[in-house]
Structure 1
Amino acid sequence: MMAPEVCSMYRTGSLGRMLFWVASLGLHKTCLCSSVVSTTDATDDLDQSVDMSTAEWGRTPLHEAAEFGHLEMLRGMLAEANESSVTLVSAPDELGWTPLHWAALHGEEEMASELLRAQAAVDAQEYEFGCQPLQWAARRGHLRLLRLLLDAGASAEYADRQQRTAAAWAKLTGHAAAAALLEASEDSEETSEPHMYSRAERDTDEVEDAMTEADQAYGMTALHVAAASGRYSDVAKWLGASEPTALSSQMSAQDMWGRTPLVTAIQTRKSPPKAALKLLHTELCVTTDHDGRGPLHWAVLAGDLRLFKELRLLNQSQAPPDRFGRTLVHYAAANGHGNILSELLADAADVDVDAKDRSQQTPLHLASARGHAHLVQQLLDRNASWNVSDLLLRRPLHYAAMFGHLDVIKLLMNAGADYFAEDLDGETVERFMRRTPFLH
């Protein structure tokens, strides 16, 4: 199981594995009524889509819009929602995740604002860890979103099933300013004083000291904790004080999620990645985490071209698929990292652009679903198949139509994609497009 703080850098841990299948299978029967026969019924269908939940995973179109960052689509659904369906703004899926959880995880401030205006519950708890949206925002260090949630009434004192508050998670993941902000909020809750956001700028020594508890609770070493800070000085200081004989074992040590210090440093997503580079140049450790992802996977997920190139110089240019069957090309395509995708496609003549993950999706499926038109073009230029189907018999064009990515739709149709192909539910691209009120 991987660290929860990196869930949005695609998915993590047992929860991450579940969310992976939500992303790939949760779109099955997306509750957008299949009886649409004309575009004049679009408004009625939108109301029906808001009132219904998916056949699998209990997801609604609001979940889909929030997860994939479709702000205008979400606004449209909220505007069309009637009084009886507005309660679905806080409806949990089968994992307990609400649309606000997704907005918090990805740092989508505008989306979170729309949901909060529609009275989304700030205290909703997902089922596995018992985390509220505030804790997921804290794990990623989204300061503005943290302030928004606190202003909306989120409690900084709430602790999840692991007895972790949002501040504790911020410390663990190296977000000192977020931790200080949340601790200031905890203090103001105790004294009934207004939130003092300026305290987020205070000296972070006490925050760093508190992070040292991580090695006991999560199997992290002192080097893990230093790496989590993302600061070159912390890592350099620790390495300089280490015995040479102990260095190798420390570099390859894994925490409870299987992360080495190098992977932990990459996941902080600091720019420039000085701490990660310092570790990388000290001793290369290619140990994979519990989901089969090593430093190269995480460099691609983070979109860090500099780290990616450094790993290639150290003869780490390729990596096997992870336990989900996803390759480096999958992750570059899914996350919109065109510069890294270009490197992968240009320098690896034997790269399989049609590699399938466990849900039988190719990189083109993922790029199409997320609307990355420039990456779709890159893949098509390398003769990626636009006709391949996943487990739901959906082709890349189905996903582009489902989320209203008009530029991607045009690219795929110009390449020859079948507009009338049916998926497992008998749905066609034409039907998906009729029910997509916002094409962008």
Structure 2
Amino acid sequence: MKSTAIRCLLAFCMILMAPMTWANDADSFIRAIKQDNDIAMRNLLARGFDPNTKDERGVPGLYMALQEGSLKVARLLIDSSRLKPETRNPTDESPLMMASFKGYLELAQRLIQKGADVNKPGWTPLHYAATNGQLKLMELLLEEHAFIDAESPNGTTPLMMAASYGAPEAVKLLIQAGADLRMRNQQGLTALDFAQKAERPDAVELLTAALRASPSSSKGKW
């Protein structure tokens, strides 16, 4: 009877300690990401810690690792068999979107292989790659059948983002890949309007020349 009572007491103590242990592991998880400590992360994952854990703001660990440039930890998380690659932050951004924005080609490839959504609704990885002029990522996404004229919630396309923020080479790549030059967002703006408003003369020149070369190829919104 005495031994049974002791076992019950120990089990009860373990139940009480479980939330504290998880909290400590969660803190260690976030710390390992910020420090790019792959050894600590490997130990956590080996103990069964969930690689999809989010911080107090709702940001998934992998998204945070990519944002922080903690690439050793990011690789470990991507390699985890329990990773859910489409775990998103509160603003619906996915790890593939951050990898595309940062230009992490290898990691983006591995995420796609694990089932990351190239064509998620709303803002897409191609929008993010185009915004930051990540040409290799743009080529990868297009090879993986990313919709070149994907529309954000306000109707903005990757070409519009490239025209406003990206490198001229990103604009050229999208034009050559067949992006619709005449599409308009919900404010009625085309990619050329974006380039003009952002005072991007290189993008203005590229778009103007492309429009002149295809005066009747209108598929977009008027």
- If the TM-score is normalised by the length of the shorter chain, which range does it land in? 0.7 to 0.9
Distance change in 2, residues 1:220/1:259 (3 Å): farther
Distance change in 2, residues 1:346/1:319 (3 Å): closer
User: Unpaired runs of 5+ in structure 1?
Assistant: 1-214, 418-440
Please give the residue correspondences for 1:3-402 in structure 2 after superposition, counting only pairs within 5 Å.
220-240=26-46, 242=47, 244=48, 247=49, 250-270=50-70, 273-283=71-81, 284-286=83-85, 287-316=87-116, 318-321=118-121, 325-348=122-145, 351-402=146-197
2-side partners of 1:231 and 1:306: how far apart?
20
1:236 CA displacement = 2.3
Distance change in 2, residues 1:392/1:260 (3 Å): closer
2-side partners of 1:336 and 1:231: how far apart?
29
1:385-428 deviation line (CA, Å, top 9, x unaligned): 111122222211122122332221111111116xxxxxxxxxxx
TM-score (norm 1): 0.40
Aligned equivalent of 1:184: none
Contact 2:131/2:166, CA 8 A, preserved across alignment: no
1:277 CA displacement = 0.5
1-side partners of 2:64 and 2:153: how far apart?
26
SS in 2 for 1:235: helix
1-side partners of 2:115 and 2:205: how far apart?
39
1:317 CA displacement = 5.4
Counterpart of 1:277 in structure 2: which amino acid? R
1-side partners of 2:73 and 2:53: how far apart?
17
1-side partners of 2:107 and 2:198: how far apart?
32
Distance change in 2, residues 1:221/1:311 (3 Å): same
1:307 CA displacement = 0.7
User: Unpaired runs of 5+ in structure 2?
Assistant: 1-22, 213-222
Contact 2:118/2:124, CA 8 A, preserved across alignment: no
1:258-298 deviation line (CA, Å, top 9, x unaligned): 2222222222114xx11110121123223222222222222
1-side partners of 2:112 and 2:155: how far apart?
28
Contact 1:319/1:327, CA 8 A, preserved across alignment: yes
Report the aligned-residue RMSD.
2.3
Counterpart of 1:381 in structure 2: which amino acid? Q
1:358 CA displacement = 1.8
Distance change in 2, residues 1:315/1:356 (3 Å): closer
SS in 2 for 1:252: coil
Counterpart of 1:346 in structure 2: which amino acid? E
Percent sequence identity over matched residues? 24
Contact 1:229/1:265, CA 8 A, preserved across alignment: no
The answer to whether the aligner puts 1:403 opposite 2:209 as a matched pair is no
Q: Give the number of aligned pairs.
A: 188
TM-score (norm 2): 0.75
1:337 CA displacement = 0.9
1:13-71 deviation line (CA, Å, top 9, x unaligned): xxxxxxxxxxxxxxxxxxxxxxxxxxxxxxxxxxxxxxxxxxxxxxxxxxxxxxxxxxx
